């Protein structure tokens, strides 16, 4: 595994070191600016490349946007990512993990009038992983996305899109429905969606099953035991204020909690309020859940707040962000209802690159500072602390798997963590990053036998166009 670390380190660190030595000589931003790249890729707007003069401004233009005939055109793109990680003191799985992730995700996006076909294969491999790769590490060669859209125009300002097939889907800040982009194998869903765009509002209704990644080639399949449906609305109230409102339904025939195993039928309602003005930004979300688990009524909840301040006119353009999460847990066998919150399909690496525990039965405070020594170089430092919400309940990882139940005598404090990330955007397409994280276990983790510090070191090279 040493060769893998050496290869990526040789790519990343000379560039990062050079960028930090000469911060005054910031490279000029290229005049050609792509749209904001997303983890799903299909929502990126490349329409300005219909102009051949704009296509000629950048070396990718000729094959990024390919006019065909009349109202038909083809958009292509790809991501190539190599990431090495070294983990020590893991709380789930082998105590020490060292591996190289390799991922390639090209795509083709064909538009013919009101019909669209989007196809994105994936090749994802994990090299030298202790104990063998898991479902988020390797899937071989498969289809990450493959769907068809049909647009129906409802007057001049509204469009209804019918979508069917396999797609990645992120809603809001991915607290509940995400793409799992940061791990090696992203999450996709099989099913159908209706998407309405009307003025400043976007409303989507869907019924899907999550795709289960497997180690072979072209063998990923929809989960036979888990299904998800719902409606999600996002709209801008004013220039500074926006809101998300949603309902999500979830069924899992094989759910596992500290309380036991059984069928889970859960309903989630939530609201998110967010906005920005004069360097300040905020994001607050309130979520309630009800239903049944193994015959027990469910009553769970989560609330979160994030506030940030950016000083764009001062040196380094710093941003300071404070986050806090309260996520319910279960009261134990004597409780009349099951109180564990289910984050469903959240973003990967939920609380940061390390994220040893997940969003269930947890209280969390997160302070982040970000600086920009140059226009292409970003550095951040985060300090995090975790507690159990209910001592009668256990600790869970991000997918919701039970790590263990320390019991009330194990204490509430899970641990404290520090994490730093340095990112250098070498070109419009190529980015290098390095991550270092360490968590000191608290009494709850020590009660489960995890007495060592938990650490993560990672380096990454990412090419996207």
Per-residue pLDDT reduced to its tens digit, 55-89: 999 999 999 999 998 889 999 999 999 999 998 88
- The pLDDT score that the predictor gives to residue 36 is 86
Question: For position 24, what pLDDT does the model report?
Answer: 35
**pLDDT score of 195:** 98
Read off the pLDDT band of 95 (50, 70, 90): low
Q: Is the pLDDT of residue 51 over 50?
A: yes
* R_g of the chain, CA atoms, integer Å: 23
**Mean pLDDT estimate for the chain:** 90
The pLDDT-based confidence of 1 (bands split at 50, 70, 90) is: very low
Q: Would you state the pLDDT for residue 257?
A: 85
The pLDDT tens digits of the residues spanning 316-325 come to: 999 999 999 9
Fold of 2-464: Porin (2.40.160)
pLDDT-derived band at 93, boundaries 50, 70, 90: low
Look at residue 332 in the predicted model and tell me its pLDDT: 84
Quote the percentage of the chain above a pLDDT of 70: 92
Give residue 19's pLDDT: 35
Q: How confident is the model at residue 3 (pLDDT cuts 50, 70, 90)?
A: very low
What pLDDT, on a 0 to 100 scale, did the predictor assign at position 63? 93
Is 435 a residue whose pLDDT tops 90?
yes
Mean pLDDT lowest among 23-27, 33-37, 58-62, 173-177: 23-27
pLDDT band at 11 (very low <50, low <70, confident <90, very high): very low
- pLDDT-based confidence at residue 5 (cuts at 50, 70, 90): very low
Closest CA to 182 of 371, 456, 465: 456
Residue from 31, 37, 28 nearest 57 by CA? 31
Which range among 4-8, 120-124, 456-460 shows the weakest confidence by mean pLDDT?
4-8
Q: Which comes out higher in pLDDT, residue 179 or 15?
A: 179
**What tens digit of pLDDT does each residue of 234-254 get?**
999 998 999 999 999 999 999
- 282-301: average pLDDT: 96
pLDDT at 391 over 70: yes
Q: What is the pLDDT of residue 10?
A: 40
Is the pLDDT confidence value at 102 over 50? yes
Q: What is the pLDDT of residue 465?
A: 94
Residue that wins the pLDDT comparison between 33 and 405: 405
Q: Where are the domains of the chain?
A: 2-464
More confident residue, 408 or 57: 57
| CA max distance for the chain | 71
Q: Look at residue 30 in the predicted model and tell me its pLDDT.
A: 58
Global pTM reads: 0.89
């Amino acid at each position: 595994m040493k060769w893998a670390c050496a290869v990526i380190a040789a790519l990343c660190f000379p560039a990062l070191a050079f960028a930090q030595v000469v911060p005054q000589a910031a490279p000029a931003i290229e005049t050609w600016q792509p749209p904001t790249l997303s983890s799903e890729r299909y929502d990126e707007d490349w329409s300005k490349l219909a102009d051949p003069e704009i296509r000629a401004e950048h070396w990718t233009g000729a094959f990024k946007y390919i006019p065909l005939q009349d109202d038909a055109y083809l958009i292509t793109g790809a991501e190539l990512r190599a990431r090495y990680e070294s983990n020590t003191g893991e709380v789930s799985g082998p105590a020490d993990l060292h591996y190289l992730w390799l991922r390639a995700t090209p795509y083709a996006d064909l538009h013919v009038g009101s019909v669209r076909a989007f196809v994105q294969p994936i090749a994802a491999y994990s090299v030298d992983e202790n104990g063998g790769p898991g479902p988020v590490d390797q899937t071989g060669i498969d289809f990450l996305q493959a769907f068809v859209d049909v647009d129906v125009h409802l007057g001049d300002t509204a469009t209804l899109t019918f979508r069917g097939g396999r797609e990645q889907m992120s809603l809001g800040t991915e607290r509940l429905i995400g793409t799992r982009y940061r791990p090696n194998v992203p999450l996709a869903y099989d099913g159908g969606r209706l998407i309405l765009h009307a003025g400043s509002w976007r409303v989507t209704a869907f019924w899907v099953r999550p795709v289960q990644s497997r180690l072979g080639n072209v063998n990923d399949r929809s989960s036979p035991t888990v299904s998800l449906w719902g409606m999600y609305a996002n709209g801008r109230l004013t220039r500074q204020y926006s809101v998300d409102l949603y309902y999500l339904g979830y069924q899992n025939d094989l759910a596992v909690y500290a309380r036991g195993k059984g069928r889970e039928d859960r309903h989630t309602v939530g609201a998110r309020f967010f906005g920005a003005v004069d360097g300040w930004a905020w994001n607050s979300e309130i979520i309630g859940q009800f239903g049944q688990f193994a015959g027990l009524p469910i009553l769970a909840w989560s609330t979160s707040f994030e506030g940030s301040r950016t000083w764009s006119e001062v040196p380094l353009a710093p941003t300071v962000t404070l986050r806090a999460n309260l996520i319910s847990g279960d009261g134990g066998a004597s409780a009349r209802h099951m109180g564990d919150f289910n984050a469903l399909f959240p973003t990967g690496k939920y609380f940061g690159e390390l994220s040893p525990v997940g969003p269930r039965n947890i209280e969390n405070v997160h302070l982040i500072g970000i600086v920009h020594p140059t226009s292409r170089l970003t550095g951040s430092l985060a300090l995090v602390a975790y507690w159990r919400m209910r001592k009668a309940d256990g600790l869970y990882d991000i997918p919701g798997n039970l790590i263990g139940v320390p019991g009330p005598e194990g204490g509430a404090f899970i641990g404290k963590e520090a994490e730093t990330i340095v990112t250098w955007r070498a070109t419009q397409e190529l980015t290098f990053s390095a991550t270092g994280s360490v968590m000191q276990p608290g009494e709850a983790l020590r009660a489960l036998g995890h007495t060592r510090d938990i650490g993560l070191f990672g380096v990454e090279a990412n090419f996207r166009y």
